[in-house]
Amino acid sequence: MSVLQEIIPSAFLFAAPLIFTALGGVLSERSGIINIGLEGLMVMGAFVGIVVNLELAPFMMENFGSTGKLLTPWISILVAAIVSALFASLHAIATVTFRADQVVTGVAINFLALGVGLFLIKQIYGKGQTDMVDAPLNSTDIPLLSDIPFIGPIFFEGTYYTNWLAVILAFVVWYVIFKTPFGLRLRSVGEHPIAADTVGINVNKMRYIAVMLSGFFGGIGGSVFALTFAQNFSHGTISGQGFIALAAVVFGKWHPLGALGAAIFFGVAQSLSVIGSGIPLLENIPSVYLQIAPYVLTILALVGLVGRAESPKALGTPFIKGSR
């Protein structure tokens, strides 16, 4: 019981940014655009989220008091999401309109986000990293739900609203992709763009929307991570979370709920590697095994359990109207 109460909230906290970002990855890849730039989109989200928070917090607290302080991180996250969506449109312009190699453009997005972020931080603050934010996301007890015996303390006490938002969003994305006309179009564009084009779907428009949505979600993921964990922005704020989210996309077989499960799995693994030494059953295992466990397990899962992952058929290929 106490062990669960220790692992689950921290695992959940690790998982939430991964869930947001992986959902973005699912949307992008379902439309046929590989997105290795998820890391960069998270960096952009973290950068914008922190800067907006730092700049906005004094104003909000002066005018709206404690409500303002509570609202500030949410506004920061929204702005981060919008800016990251715009930033992701660069990936869309390069890959959709100019038929660039999607993997390479994604790598460029990763470099660009960090370069732009650090360059602007130097411009604004004159140093390599920001101060700590005054209005981070704080943990709360969710009313009513946290009173449920057993489940309440584990899942709803001292938790973050963003955690639950991530889970709900996974179901929303699942519904959109599999139950709505928009989702059908999105999938058809990723599976067989020429057929989709024949029935009048605007392939390139769908892909632009999908890539920009991946930026939106990646921006949420990055800013949520920055406003819960790091609480400032520097060179190493986002270090690999985007790549883990990408792994969650593949591990989850390009399915929103699969990605949700994979992200939670990575969250558990990461939290075990951090707090594992305090757990009776795991305290004698050298920490390195817990650290590498998520990655080794992913490889094993890809080879054995998951089997050959079926990626969207047109993944990675640009659509050229009129070609066969």
Q: Which residues bind other proteins (CB under 8 A)?
A: 36, 90, 93-94, 97-101, 103-105, 107-112, 114-116, 118-119, 122-123, 236, 239-240, 243, 246-247, 250, 286-288, 291-292, 295-296, 298-299, 302-303, 308-309, 311
Nearer to other proteins, 60 or 269 (CB): 269
Nearer to other proteins, 22 or 60 (CB): 22
Long-range contacts of 230-233 (CB under 8 A, 24+ apart): 230/46, 230/50, 231/50, 231/132, 231/133, 231/136, 232/50, 232/129, 232/130, 232/131, 232/132, 232/133, 233/46, 233/47, 233/50, 233/51, 233/117, 233/121, 233/129, 233/130
Following CA atoms 82, 173, 223, 135 in sequence, which dihedral angle do they give, to the nearest 10 degrees?
100
Nearer to other proteins, 40 or 153 (CB): 40
Output the smallest distance, CB 212 to other proteins, in A. 17
Please give the single-letter amino acid code of residue 192.
Answer: H
Please give the single-letter amino acid code of residue 112.
Answer: L
Following CA atoms 212, 216, 218, 220 in sequence, which dihedral angle do they give, to the nearest 10 degrees?
180
Output the smallest distance, CB 71 to other proteins, in A. 31
Output the smallest distance, CB 128 to other proteins, in A. 9
Output the smallest distance, CB 68 to other proteins, in A. 31
Nearer to other proteins, 75 or 293 (CB): 293
Nearest to 34 by CA among 324, 254, 259: 254
Nearer to other proteins, 9 or 276 (CB): 276
Output the smallest distance, CB 188 to other proteins, in A. 23
